[in-house]
Amino acid sequence: MTALLPEVVREAIEGQSLQSASESFGLVTLVLLVVLLLEYEVLRTARPARARMIALSAVIGPLSVVVFITIVARIAALVP
């Protein structure tokens, strides 16, 4: 898997603290989820091919789980 990442990206990820990495990861996944949900609603009103909606749903589902886990982990870090 690391062979797919450029060296610059890998150094940027490894150079951050766990706190700042989780903040940026959480923000990126949340923004991506919001964009995909908006795209899903726009496509739903346009009534595209069913295969396109299924493919988008296949991406939204796991991303929703990741966002939920990230939010729970951030809240758990705040609770003593």
For the chain, which residues make up each domain, given as ranges?
Answer: 19-78
Residue 48: phi and psi, rounded to 5, are: -80, -175
Whether the CB-CB separation of 70 and 26 falls below 8 Å is answered with: yes
pTM for the predicted model, two decimal places = 0.64
Encode pLDDT of 13-71 as tens digits.
676 665 666 667 777 788 888 888 888 888 888 877 777 788 888 888 888 888 888 88
